[in-house]
Structure 1
Amino acid sequence: MRTLLTPRWLGLLLAALALAATMVFLGRWQLHRYEERSAINDRIHAGETGAAVPADRLLPRPADGPGSVGPALPDDAAWRRVTVTGTYDSAGELLVRNRTVDSTVGFEVITPLVTADGTTFLVDRGWIPPSPKGPTVAPSVPAAPTGSVTITARVHPSESGGTDTVQVDGRTEIRRVATGPVARFLDKYAVYDGYLLAVDGSPGATSQPIPVDDENAWQNAAYVVQWWLFAGLTLFGFGYLLRKEHLEGLAGTPTEASRTAAPVA
């Protein structure tokens, strides 16, 4: 088709192909994210009812000294139910600020649980409301039980970021439960990577355990359809405009008979 072989249309063709290829790539990336999130949701659902196993069977033991964190949490350990026996160290307790449960912003209570060999798990004992006296007053924190306890919890991957600590009314507050920075801040424990969400009824759990929400995998699935649909529309639109200009060119081109016919007197 001579219309397509013009420099302008060849340039438009290359641009349309490049744009469509980019959209296909973005769709494939969103498909990958959908598969990742679906796998996470499968582990979350399995962890809701699965049998609890000793935590040290799933999580690699810290091998270095105080202030260090153990090897990275294996993917298949996340969200599993585990049991662990140890002693709460309330002196190292931290409050994670700006945590929302049922549309109310409050705190999560992180208390180190020291095992018999000295290695330590960071245990999220649950959510508590803020002080009614305002943000400059520490909330009322239920005391952790003393002595040896055995808790049941769900494994939560470490969050990213730093500790970003502040002192409020004698309490240390942080924004993120990042096990590496928290271990270095506390500087007295060899800490397992990841942290534990105490389930309802475990010793030390607050009246509001932390819920585990599903990943929004279907949002990524919708983006897959969107990007691939845009890619198809881009190529369709190019073909439509090319055909339209080609037909207009044919309609405006005089026929051979009209060019050779003699003028009428």
Structure 2
Amino acid sequence: MVVYRFLATPRWLGYAALTVAAATVMVLLGLWQLDRYHQRAEINARIEAGTSAAPVPLTGVVGAPSGAAGTVGPPPAEHTEWTRVTVTGRYDSAHEILVRGRTVEGAVGFEVLTPLVLSDGTAVLVDRGWVRPAAAGALTAPEVPAAPSGNVTVAGRLRPAESRGGPPQEVNGRTEVRRITPSAIAPALPYALFDAYVSSDEPAPGFTTVPAQKQNALQNAGYVLQWWLFAAMTLYGFGYLARREVRGPRPANLLDDEADEEEEAAHGASR
């Protein structure tokens, strides 16, 4: 239409390009949040499925290590996280590790990692549960129930290695880490490790179960709607400004007439 010819001017072409670019970025951000929603919803579905699923052998879910002592095996596939697994071996209490700074039920304490040595000489880290810090403070070792002796069968959830973990450190006579990263822990142990760990489903007395942390997928769904609504509002705003440009400025006499009408209405209401 002739009245919209102004849209081909450099100024309005610039406005249009900026509007399209902004709306495109918002749509892409919405798609990214949609992908995050699906990822988190899938994790929640795996957590729910694991509550009733029968455990499967650990080696059927993640590859066993085949290297020398101090090395780790292949990492588990992403879709195997939270799978219930079972593994048999003997606990190596001499190399037990405390994971500091862990919060359960609003309290900060320790998770207890004890290597479980399998019959082939490899091992997997078992998170036996959470314990409170000692009453005397963080400088004192917490009370940790002893691991059972002999061969035991452990059932729990498969957890992938945590990122940015460091090697174990000696702190006041105990071995500690901040994050559970088998590749960083393995060099301190006399056997090869699975590159994952098992979070026990049935902690022994004295331990608190480390709960499965569900993801807030609905938050991402809200962000999807938010970004796409912003994109729609951006495009609508451009169209609104273009329409105002077509209509042009309102005549001064029309503005005066409307002001008179408003004044008369006000006088009439006061009588």
**What is the TM-score of this pair, normalised by structure 1?**
0.89
Structure 2 matches for 1:158-169, cutoff 5 A? 158-163=161-166, 165-169=168-172
Aligned residue for 2:62?
59
Contiguous gaps of at least 5 residues in structure 2: 253-271
Letter in 1 for 2:218: W
- 2:88 aligns to what SS in structure 1? strand
Report sequence identity in percent. Answer: 49
Whether 1:226 and 2:226 are equivalent positions in the alignment is: yes
Q: 1:5 to 1:149 in 2, by over 3 A?
A: same
Matched residue, 2:11: 8
Distance 1:164 1:187 in 2: 11
Shift of 1:165: 3.8
Partner of 1:257: none
Match for residue 200 of structure 1 among 180, 199, 202: 202
Q: Which amino acid aligns with 1:69?
A: V
Corresponding residue number in structure 2 for 1:25 = 28
- Deviation string 1:73-131 (CA, Å, 9 cap, x unpaired) is 02332211111111111111111111101100001001100001011110000000011
8 Å contact from structure 1 (residues 198, 205) kept in 2:
no
Q: AA paired with 1:77? A: T
TM superposition shift of 1:249: 5.3
Contact 1:137 1:168 in 2 (8 A): no
Partner of 1:245: 245
Aligned CA RMSD, in angstroms, stands at 1.7
Contact 1:200 1:207 in 2 (8 A): no
Q: Give a deviation string over 1:42-91, Cα, whole Å, max 9, x none.
A: 11111111001111111111111111111110233221111111111111
Matches of 2:201 and 2:20, distance apart in 1: 53
Cα displacement (A) at 1:2: 2.3
Amino acid at match of 2:210: I
Aligned to 2:104: 101
**CA distance in 2 between partners of 1:250 and 1:9 (Å):** 21
* Contact in 1 for aligned 2:167/2:184 (Cα 8 Å): no
Letter aligned with residue 79 of structure 1: W
Distance 1:107 1:233 in 2: 49
Offset at residue 226 of structure 1 (A):
0.7
Q: Name the SS of the counterpart of 2:143 in structure 1.
A: coil
Distance 1:166 1:107 in 2: 14
Deviation by residue 1:158-206 (Cα, 9 ceiling, x = unmatched): 111122543222111111101211112x2422111211011125xx575
Q: Does residue 182 in structure 1 map to residue 197 in structure 2?
A: no
8 Å CA contact 2:88–2:118 kept in 1: the answer is yes
Q: 1:213 to 1:161 in 2, by over 3 A?
A: same
Matched to 1:101, the amino acid is V
Helix, strand or coil: the match of 1:84? strand
Structure 1: any 5+ residue segments left out of the alignment?
253-265
Corresponding residue for residue 155 of structure 2:
152
1:191 aligns to what? 193
Q: Is the 8 A contact 1:125 1:206 kept in 2?
A: no
C-alpha contact (below 8 Å) 1:199/1:205 kept by paired residues: no
| Counterpart mapping for 1:83-102 below 5 A | 83-102=86-105
Equivalent pair of 1:67/1:188 in contact (CA under 8 Å): yes
8 Å contact kept, 2:95–2:189: no
Alpha-carbon distance between aligned partners in 2 of 1:95 and 1:27, rounded to the nearest angstrom: 41
Contact persistence 1:152–1:198 (CA under 8 A): yes
Q: Is 1:171 the counterpart of 2:174 in the alignment?
A: yes
8 Å Cα contact 2:110-2:130 kept in structure 1: yes
What's the counterpart of residue 258 of structure 1? Answer: none
Tell me if structure 1 keeps the 8 A contact 2:100–2:111.
yes
User: Would you say the 8 A contact 1:37–1:215 is kept in 2?
Assistant: yes
